[in-house]
């Protein structure tokens, strides 16, 4: 199984199983989401080639994609290549299925750009809080950015950005 392993940055320590096409970017619809000001919404894509090898394609990002310290638009990937996108460096490689559990990553919600000052919350804590508020009959007032209950929590707790859509919270 081919993976990307985050060596540093907000996703440090997490490994991601690569499919036929894996989009990396700031957008919530990305396969690997990087909340970082230096990352475009759809920054880069790792694709599996017909012969089973993998390549990375920069999707016209503003700040570029680097492989082993070299700026690239398209490049074939080799075992242990380092891919840098924004402030995160990933290690590309192949592992046995038993070596890594990528189906259940340590999921966290982040508020604001993924910097050292980012507030991190366990998903289960957010869900439990939302259920408690609903049971108590508290009406959630969503922030102007979107209708997500997480947007309401972001507004209530003074988070810098909405974890659902990434918009600044007013």
The H or E element containing residue 109 is strand 108-111
Q: How high is the pLDDT of residue 139?
A: 52
Q: How high is the pLDDT of residue 117?
A: 39
Q: How high is the pLDDT of residue 95?
A: 78
Q: What is the mean pLDDT of each run of 10 residues along the chain (170 residues)?
A: 91 90 92 92 94 94 95 95 96 74 45 43 61 65 58 71 69
Nearest Cα residue to 87 out of 163, 10, 167: 10
Q: How high is the pLDDT of residue 129?
A: 66
| Main-chain dihedrals φ then ψ at residue 57, nearest 5 degrees | -125, 125
Q: How high is the pLDDT of residue 26?
A: 92
The per-residue b/e assignment along 11-28, b for 16 or more CB within 10 angstroms, e otherwise, is: beebbbbbeeebbbbbbe
Q: Please name the residue that has the structure tokens 């490994």.
A: 15
In angstroms, the CA 86 to CA 144 distance is: 28
Q: How high is the pLDDT of residue 119?
A: 46
Q: How high is the pLDDT of residue 48?
A: 93
């Amino acid at each position: 199984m081919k993976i990307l392993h985050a060596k540093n940055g907000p996703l440090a320590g997490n490994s991601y199983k690569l499919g036929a096409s894996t989009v990396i970017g700031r957008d919530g619809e990305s396969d690997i989401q990087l909340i970082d000001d230096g990352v475009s919404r759809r920054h880069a894509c790792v694709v599996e080639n017909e012969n089973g090898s993998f390549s990375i394609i920069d999707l016209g990002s503003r700040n570029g994609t680097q492989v082993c310290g070299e700026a690239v638009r398209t490049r074939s990937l080799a075992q242990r290549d380092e891919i840098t996108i924004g402030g995160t460096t990933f290690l590309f490689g192949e592992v046995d299925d038993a070596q890594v559990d990528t189906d259940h990553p340590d999921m966290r919600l982040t508020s604001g750009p993924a910097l050292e000052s980012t507030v991190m919350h366990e998903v289960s804590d957010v869900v439990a809080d939302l259920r408690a508020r609903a049971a108590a009959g508290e009406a959630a007032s969503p922030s102007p950015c979107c209708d997500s209950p997480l947007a309401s929590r972001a507004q209530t707790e003074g988070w810098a950005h909405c974890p659902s859509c990434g918009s600044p919270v007013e």
